[in-house]
Amino acid sequence: MQVIVTRPLAEAQHWVTQLQAKGMDALALPLIDIVASQNTEAIELAMDKASSYAAIMFVSSNAVRFFYMKNQAVCGINTAYKAIKTIASEAQNKPQTRYWATGPGTAKALLAAGIPSQLIDAPQNDAAQFDSEALWQRVCQQVKAGDEVLIVRGQTPHSSAENQALMNGRPWLADQLSAQGVKVDTVVSYERRVPVFTAAQLAWIEASSRNGSVWLFSSSEAIENLCRIVGQIDWSKGKAVTTHPRIAQAAKSAGFGVVCESRPLLSDVVTSIESLV
Q: What's the CA gap between 176 and 189, in Å, rounded?
A: 22
Q: How far is CA 26 from the centre of its chain?
A: 20
Q: List the chain domain ranges.
A: 2-32+195-274, 35-193
Task: Assess whether pLDDT exceeds 90 at residue 85.
Answer: no
Q: What's the CA gap between 205 and 120, in Å, rounded?
A: 39
What's the average model confidence in pLDDT over 11-19? 96
- Correct CATH for 35-193 of 3.30.70.1150, 3.40.50.1980, 3.40.50.10090, 3.40.50.1580: 3.40.50.10090
Task: Assess whether pLDDT exceeds 90 at residue 129.
Answer: no
pLDDT tens across 46-71, in order?
999 999 999 999 999 999 999 998 65
65-79, 163-177, 210-224 — which is least confidently predicted?
A: 65-79
- For residues 150 and 56, is the Cβ–Cβ distance under 8 A? yes
Give me the helix-helix angle, 9-21 and 61-75, nearest 10°: 110
Q: Fold match between 2-32+195-274 and 35-193?
A: yes
pLDDT at 204: 97
Task: Quote the Cα angle for 120-126-131, to 5°.
Answer: 60
Query: Which of the two residues, 120 and 104, has the higher pLDDT score?
Result: 120
pTM of the model: 0.82
Task: Assess whether pLDDT exceeds 90 at residue 87.
Answer: no
Q: What's the CA gap between 249 and 139, in Å, rounded?
A: 28
Q: How far is CA 132 from the centre of its chain?
A: 11
pLDDT tens across 92-115, in order?
566 899 999 999 889 999 999 999
What's the average model confidence in pLDDT over 173-198? 95
Average pLDDT, the chain: 87
Percentage of residues of the chain with pLDDT beyond 90: 75
pLDDT at 1: 86
Architecture of domain 2-32+195-274: 3-Layer(aba) Sandwich (3.40)
Spell 220-259 as b/e; 16+ CB within 10 A means b.
Answer: bbbbbbbbebeeebebeebbbbbbbeebbebbbebebebb
What's the average model confidence in pLDDT over 10-31? 96
Assign 203 to helix, strand or coil: helix
